[in-house]
Amino acid sequence: MLQEEEAVTVSADIQKPNIPLVPILICAALSVLFMNTGILSFFYLVPLGYAIILSGSFLHTFAVAAAAGIGFKLIKFTAGSGSSALMLLDIMYFSVIIFCFTWIMGGKRFRTAYRFILASAAGTVFSLIFINSPQVKFFEYFREIAEGVFNNSSVLSGENDHYEKSTGLLGIQNISPEQMVEMARSLILRGGALVSVFFLFFINRQIANVIYSIVKRQRRDLSLISFIAPVNAIWVLSGALATILLTNAFKIEIIGILAWNVLTICLIVFLAQGAGVLMYWMSLRANVFRLVINVLIVVILLSPISIFAVAALVILGVADIWVSFRSPKQDAVI
């Protein structure tokens, strides 16, 4: 009888998950602090990523972080900051974003590339709902900024003929604040929001991995060398391009917006594959050569020709489908 009780106890201990709740609580508190602290607000997901790597549980991390964030927002609302509608919208947006990120970090059922795509798409939908809501007044604030830029450029151009010529080349004087707002709205709907959400997740994930590697002295492979685009991604890209052309011809805006976002996802995927090919080539070179190339890449990315460098990587990623630049090809790990 005693042996049976001991067996039951041992079995229960084995099944009981060992979740470090204290580090999760600390990381959740840091996340809320970052979210409400100026420039650190862009990195508020980093502590949650670190907590998931440390604990191995994205559900526990999400639950604690959501509770901390919602509690803080309720306290702010009770103190008289903002309307109830804005508070509910903010809670919904915050909860969706942290759930998407924690799922990227700790989800197991799909490869990381698919989790990034699905989570970024979900985050984009709720981001668009958030910024287009009347309570947030995002485009009203943008219009005020555009009017300030427009008025300042007009005043300066009147005082300085040289400045007038330079602004004329940029076309600032030929665009009204209303047109600037519409251009921003169109860009956000047609992939701009998706790119923002994707890189928010990507950068916070990378930083969390780096911090864990430094703190725990356990190297985590962050390389894209082994990244391979999902099967049939090139056909999805081709279909998105064809759809964009057709919707422009027949003026079907909603389908066109969806096609632009699908195209954006495909371009990001092939950008990652192109970066993987470049990193593979660099891994075959000497350390000094790699250092020089890394410095050159940073200089290019900070220069006006960065858009051409990004386009070249996308083309390289697409070409890697037919020409195996990494021979033999690495097994996909992300």
Which residue would you say has higher pLDDT here, 1 or 222?
Answer: 222
CA–CA separation, 102 vs 64, rounded Å? 11
pLDDT at 1: 43
At position 278, the amino acid (one-letter code) is L
| CA distance linking residue 197 with residue 261, whole number of Å | 12
Angle at 202 between CA 200 and CA 205, to 5 degrees: 105
Query: What are the angstrom distances between the C-alpha of 263 and each of 75, 84, 237, 333?
Result: 41, 37, 6, 23
Cβ pair 275, 224 in contact under 8 A: yes
Structure tokens at 30: 């840091």
**Tens of pLDDT, residues 265-298:** 999 999 999 988 888 888 887 777 777 777 787 7
Give the residue-averaged pLDDT of 65-77. Answer: 90
Position 16 pLDDT exceeds 50: no
d(CA 316, CA 309) in angstroms, rounded, equals 10
Residue with tokens 């670190």: 50
Share of the chain above pLDDT 70, in %: 83
The label of the residue with tokens 């890697």 reads 320
Show the tokens assigned to 1: 């009888």
The total number of residues shown for the chain amounts to: 334
Q: What is the pLDDT of residue 82?
A: 66
Task: Give the chain's domains with CATH numbers.
Answer: 9-136+176-222 (1.10.1760), 225-334 (no CATH)
Amino acid at 69: G
Average pLDDT over residues 104-114: 88
Residue 169 pLDDT class (50, 70, 90 cuts): very low
Per-residue tokens: 224:
């894209």
Is residue 282 within 8 A of residue 293, CB to CB? The reply is yes
As a whole number, the mean pLDDT across the chain is 82
Q: How far is CA 269 from CA 83, 197, 275, in A?
A: 40, 14, 10
- What pLDDT, in 10s, does the model give residues 193-219? 999 999 999 999 989 998 998 888 777
Output the pLDDT for position 193.
94
Q: What is the mean pLDDT of residues 238-251?
A: 93
pLDDT score for 150? 67
CA–CA dist 77, 86 (Å, integer): 10
Question: How does residue 17 score in pLDDT terms, banded at 50, 70 and 90?
Answer: low
Q: Could you tell me the pTM of the whole model?
A: 0.82
Q: Taking the CA atoms of the chain, what radius of gyration do you get in angstroms?
A: 24
Q: Is the pLDDT of residue 191 over 70?
A: yes
- Helix, coil or strand: residue 252: coil
Confidence of residue 303 (pLDDT cuts 50, 70, 90): confident
The CA distance from 190 to 261, in Å, is: 6
Distance CA 68, CA 59 (A): 14
Evaluate if residue 10 carries a pLDDT over 70: no
What's the pLDDT at 39? 84
